[in-house]
């Protein structure tokens, strides 16, 4: 998307449930992250923008949760129901990538999942103690709360920054990317903050109770933010 000269769009589809497999709800993390990186990103799930899908130079990333491997490689493997959905939007995909099969996406999954569990938690207005967040993430992706196959999050730090955390079991390390937009260090941010974990034998209660130990209360948050505000004031030349 970064190298594309024209406009970029994003569309998230719900996918179609499969029997006996836990479903995934859209946390909005991907959209929020992409919107931060590409402020002009066109959200094609918004009906006001749907007609713009026909613009010739528009590069659209379409995300679709799928619960079973496709029968065939490439576009031929796409679920006909999805094809119909896209055609209604006059979208005709050029490529169809699948985790575990296409070289662009990880393919060395080391855990066998017959039944994927999912845990998600809204962290709206939550702010983390940064070293505690580091520890929680280390413990989470290394299996302290169950076998984690996939974990993704947007987390707020006391200095106003938000970080995108991304982990997949077949990768050697996590991806930590700062968002471009930085909130003023003045209380709790309003931006999306969410954690989503997929795996097996996940202990959601213990994840939640560990997170509770990591989040800053109002008094500690103010202790972090007050010096930042003071420094900002000093940096503004008086008239």
- Kindly list the residues in this chain that would bind other proteins in the complex (CB under 8 A): 129, 131-132, 134-136, 138-139, 142-144, 206, 210, 213-214, 216, 220
Q: How far is the CB of 213 from other proteins (least distance, A)?
A: 4
Measure the CA–CA gap between 99 and 26, rounded to whole angstroms. Answer: 18
> Measured at the alpha carbon of residue 56, what is the angle toward residues 51 and 62, in degrees to the nearest 5?
65
Q: How far is the CB of 157 from other proteins (least distance, A)?
A: 13
Closest CB to other proteins among residues 117, 139:
139
Q: How far is the CB of 71 from other proteins (least distance, A)?
A: 40
DSSP string, 157-226: -TTS-EEEEEEETTSSS-EEEE-S----SSS---S--EEEEEEES--HHHHHHHHHHHBPPHHHHHHHHH
Q: How far is the CB of 230 from other proteins (least distance, A)?
A: 20
Q: How far is the CB of 216 from other proteins (least distance, A)?
A: 7
Closest CB to other proteins among residues 125, 213:
213
CA-based nearest residue to 93, from 68, 126, 122, 70: 70
Which two structure tokens, joined as six digits, stand for 25?
Answer: 């709800």
Q: How far is CA 224 from CA 165, 203, 213, in A?
A: 22, 31, 17
Which two structure tokens, joined as six digits, stand for 193?
Answer: 């903050």
Q: How far is the CB of 192 from other proteins (least distance, A)?
A: 23
Which residues neighbour 50 within 8 Å (Cβ) at sequence distance 6 or greater?
A: 44, 89
> Measured at the alpha carbon of residue 12, what is the angle toward residues 11 and 18, in degrees to the nearest 5?
145
Closest CB to other proteins among residues 68, 134:
134
Closest CB to other proteins among residues 38, 128:
128
Closest CB to other proteins among residues 138, 176:
138
Closest CB to other proteins among residues 32, 155:
155
């Amino acid at each position: 998307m970064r190298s594309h000269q024209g406009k970029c769009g994003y569309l998230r589809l719900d996918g179609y449930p499969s029997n006996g497999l836990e479903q995934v709800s859209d946390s909005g993390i991907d959209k929020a992250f992409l919107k931060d990186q590409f402020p002009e990103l066109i959200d094609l799930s918004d009906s006001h923008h749907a007609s713009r899908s026909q613009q010739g130079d528009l590069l659209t990333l379409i995300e679709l949760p799928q619960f079973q491997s496709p029968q065939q490689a490439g576009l031929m493997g796409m679920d006909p129901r999805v094809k119909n959905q896209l055609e209604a939007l006059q979208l005709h995909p050029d490529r169809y990538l699948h985790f575990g099969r296409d070289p662009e996406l990880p393919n060395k999954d080391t855990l066998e999942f017959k039944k994927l569990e999912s845990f998600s938690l809204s962290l709206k207005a939550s702010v983390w103690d940064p070293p505690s967040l580091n520890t929680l993430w280390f413990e989470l992706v290394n299996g302290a709360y169950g076998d984690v196959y996939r974990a993704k999050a947007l987390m707020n730090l006391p200095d106003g920054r938000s970080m995108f955390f991304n982990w997949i079991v077949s990768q050697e390390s996590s991806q930590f990317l700062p968002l471009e937009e930085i909130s003023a260090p003045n209380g709790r941010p309003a931006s999306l903050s969410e954690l989503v974990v997929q795996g097996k034998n996940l202990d959601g209660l213990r994840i939640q109770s560990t997170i509770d130990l990591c989040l800053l209360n109002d008094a500690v948050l103010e202790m972090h933010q007050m010096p930042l505000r003071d420094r900002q004031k000093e940096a503004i030349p008086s008239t």
